[in-house]
Amino acid sequence: MTQEEQPTLHSRRSLTLRFDIPISRTREFWDALGEGRFVTTRCSACGNVSFPPQADCPRCMSDRFEWVDLGREAKLVTYTYVQVTPASFVNDDPYIVAIGEFENGVKVLAWLLGVSLEKAKVGMKLTVEARRSNEGNPYYVFVPSPPS
């Protein structure tokens, strides 16, 4: 008998997991994104800039912080083209995921839209843009910067 022919008990119980993720301490990030601005946290005590934004400073542990604008321009550091997508992305076409670096050194991971895999190149200029999901949640993507 092959492994695939072995008898198994297909369990009667199924489990769907959907999380309510708290965003209260850094909700300005999502609010700003909804207005088309891309911001993150800077510690008011030591000046450390964090991305993803976080309310407590990982360098000095202070909980005092301010919001700083990251601007819109980044440079492509590395990327991949995800052809085999996870179960919950079954309705999405394959996508490019990129890491872009902003002028102040902050790096961000996001989809890179509007460019084919063949045209994507390490070092190319990217612009971050705000988007909204079908469910109404704000998120952000990179697109190639227009030629200057």
Partner 1 sequence: MNRVAIVGAGHSKFGRRKDVNVAELAFESIKQAVTDAGIDRKEIKNVVVGSAGGWYEESLPAVIVNEYAGLRSVGTMRVEAACASGSAAVKAAHDSVATGESDLALAVGVEKMTEVDTMTSVELIGRAGSYMWEFENYGMTFPAYYALYAVSHMNRFKTTEEDMARVAVKAHHYGSLNPNAQFQKEITVEKVLASQVVAWPLKLYDACPLTDGSAAVVLANEEVARRLTDTPVWIKGIGYSSDSANLSKRDDYLGLTASVEAGRRAYQIAKVTPRQVDVATCHDCFTIAEIMAYEDLGFCEKGDGAKLVREGQTEVGGRIPVNLDGGLKAKGHPIGATGVSMMVEITKQLRGEAGSNRQAPIKNGIGLVHNVGGTGHYAYVTILSRGEQ
Residues at the contact surface with partner 1, assessed by CB under 8 A: 3-6, 8, 11, 21, 51-52, 77-90, 92, 95, 97, 99, 107-111, 117, 122, 133, 137, 139
E strands in the chain: 39-43, 49-50, 65-69, 73-82, 95-102, 107-112, 125-132, 138-144
Closest contact distance (angstroms) between CB of 29 and partner 1 is: 11
Nearer to partner 1, 24 or 133 (CB): 133
Task: Report the alpha-carbon distance of residue 111 to residue 75 in Å, rounded.
Answer: 14
Closest contact distance (angstroms) between CB of 44 and partner 1 is: 21
Nearer to partner 1, 29 or 65 (CB): 29
Maximum Cα–Cα distance across the chain = 67
DSSP 6-39: S-----S-----------GGGHHHHHHHHTT--E
Nearer to partner 1, 11 or 148 (CB): 11
Nearer to partner 1, 5 or 35 (CB): 5
CA dihedral over 30, 32, 33, 39, signed as positive or negative: negative
Closest contact distance (angstroms) between CB of 143 and partner 1 is: 15
Closest contact distance (angstroms) between CB of 119 and partner 1 is: 13
Question: What size, in residues, is the chain?
Answer: 148
